[in-house]
Structure formats: structure tokens, C-alpha cells
Amino acid sequence: MDTTRTALVTGGNRGIGLAICEGLAERGLDVVMASRNEDRGEGAAASIRGRGGSVRVEQLDVIETASIEACKERLDADDVTVDVLVNNAGVYPDADALEATIDQLDQAWTVNTRGPWLLAKAFVPDMLERGYGRVVNVSSGSGSFGEGLDTNHAAYSASKAALNALTMTLNDALPAGPDVKVNSMGPGWVHTRMGGEAAPRTPEEGADTALWLATLPEDGPSGGFFRDRERIPW
């Protein structure tokens, strides 16, 4: 039986998401690179294909419910089953709780929390039916109560804390039996457009724990929050 797994990565066209796509392709998975702009996705996918990786680009804006539904329908029509979902796309509004505008609150919630939630609702039922699935929610230490929430980016930290709540509640909703796991991870401070030039970590270093969680063995953890492959506090 062909056990090649297929992984869908949101915001896969650049930054940590691209490093996750590259790492999954290197590990032999078929990658669905979800990009809100198809041309940017195709540009990024070319280098993976050049190294022999298998990658399909899908237009997906995680803000738009219809865009998520249309992506799922196209994959279903082509018999592409998603075994691994990496909710990576994110935005980082720069404002504290009093400064944050309604638009910033809506952006943070819809991209960082609502999008991953709708994608989990779209793909986890099929994973349960097939008996295998891995969901990785790319969160942040900024959303950790235990590490101290990032009060300078209040909408961001609240949306990532809510993403962690999704991880916990989704894990609790999984029935016993199928090998389906859901975890949150924080990549650390990573040199990307979001993280800025001063960040000490490369996108590859930031992607490592997501790649580990995306390919966990059956006895691996579920319902946890990790950085550098170690548990961190919620």
C-alpha cells in the first residue's frame, strides 16, 4: 500500500511556511502549498520541484470561508487526501490592547484563529475516517500565559492563546481509536518578514518542531504545546 502522506501548509509561499514545505518535501511527503496568491506560490514551489520534491500549489486565503471550501472541493475532485494540516499562515498586528483597532482585532482573529479552526473542521473528519492525521498549529510564545503574554501585540497574543485553546479543545474532541494528533508549537524568534532582521533563528530552525510534529509516530504526543521539540507552558 502506498503510504506517501500528503501535507497542506497554509502561508506556504514564504517564511517559516516555505521552510516547512521544503522540509516536508525533503522527507518524501507530497506537499500542498496553500498560498493566498497563486503566482507567489508557484514561484516558491519552483525551487522545491527543482530539488525533486512533490508540490502542488493551491490558492487559499484563510480569511475567506468560500476560499477554504473551494480549496477542499478542488482537492476532493482530484482525490487528494490531506493527512497532515499545518496551520502556519499568520499576521502580527502591532498594537497594545488599547491601541488595537477593530480592523487589527478582526485580522488577528480571522487569520490566526478562525482560519485554522475552519481548516480543521474541513480536513479532520476525513483524517478520522481514514484513521490517520496530524494537525500542527503554528502558534507563538507570545500566546503563552505561562511565558507571559506579549502585551505590546495584544490582538496577536490573544489570537495565538485562542489558537492554543483550539488545539486543546480539538484534541479533546478526537474519538479514541484513529491515529489523529493535534499539537501547537512556537517557532521561536525567526528571521522572516514578520520576525524582522534582528531575529536570531533561520526559517529552517523555526520549522524544525513543526516538521517533527507533522511526522510524529503513533506513540507521539497529542494536545500539547512545544518549542524545540520540548513542551512549553500554555
Ligand X SMILES: NC(=O)c1ccc[n+]([C@@H]2O[C@H](COP(=O)([O-])OP(=O)(O)OC[C@H]3O[C@@H](n4cnc5c(N)ncnc54)[C@H](OP(=O)(O)O)[C@@H]3O)[C@@H](O)[C@H]2O)c1
3-state secondary structure of 178: coil
One character per residue 12-51, x = contact with ligand X (rule: CB under 6 A): -xxxxx------------------xx--x-----------
Catalytic one of 123, 156, 225, 226: 156
| Cα dihedral 49, 132, 209, 76 in deg (nearest 10) | 40
Residue 186 in contact with ligand X, rule: CB under 6 A: yes
The CB-of-207 to ligand X minimum distance in angstroms stands at: 9
- DSSP single-letter state for residue 56: E
* Identity of the residue, 28 or 196, whose beta carbon is nearer to ligand X in the bound complex: 196
Residue 190 in contact with ligand X, rule: CB under 6 A: yes
156 noted as active-site residue: yes
Residue 9 in contact with ligand X, rule: CB under 6 A: no
Residue 57 in contact with ligand X, rule: CB under 6 A: no
Residue 214 in contact with ligand X, rule: CB under 6 A: no
One character per residue 151-170, x = contact with ligand X (rule: CB under 6 A): --------------------
Interacting span for ligand X (CB under 6 A) from 50-58, 85-93, 118-126, 127-135: 85-93
CA distances from 219 to 14, 125, 180, 231, 234 (A): 31, 21, 11, 16, 22
All three cell numbers of 187, joined, read 517557532
Q: Which of 164, 183, 184, 192 binds ligand X (CB under 6 A)?
A: 192
Total residues binding ligand X (CB under 6 A): 30
The CB-of-54 to ligand X minimum distance in angstroms stands at: 20
* Identity of the residue, 131 or 225, whose beta carbon is nearer to ligand X in the bound complex: 225
Residue 111 in contact with ligand X, rule: CB under 6 A: yes
Q: Which of 70, 91, 216, 232 binds ligand X (CB under 6 A)?
A: 91
d(CA 172, CA 166): 10
Cα–chain center distance at 119: 10
d(CA 143, CA 156): 8
Burial of 139-175, coded b for 16+ CB within 10 Å and e otherwise, reads bbbbbbeebebbeebbbbbbbbbbbbebbeebbeebe
3-state secondary structure of 55: strand
d(CA 58, CA 38): 7
Question: Which residues does the annotation mark as catalytic?
Answer: 156
Residues lying near ligand X in the complex (CB under 6 A) are found at: 10-11, 13-17, 36-37, 40, 60-63, 88-91, 111, 138, 140, 186-187, 189-190, 192-195, 199
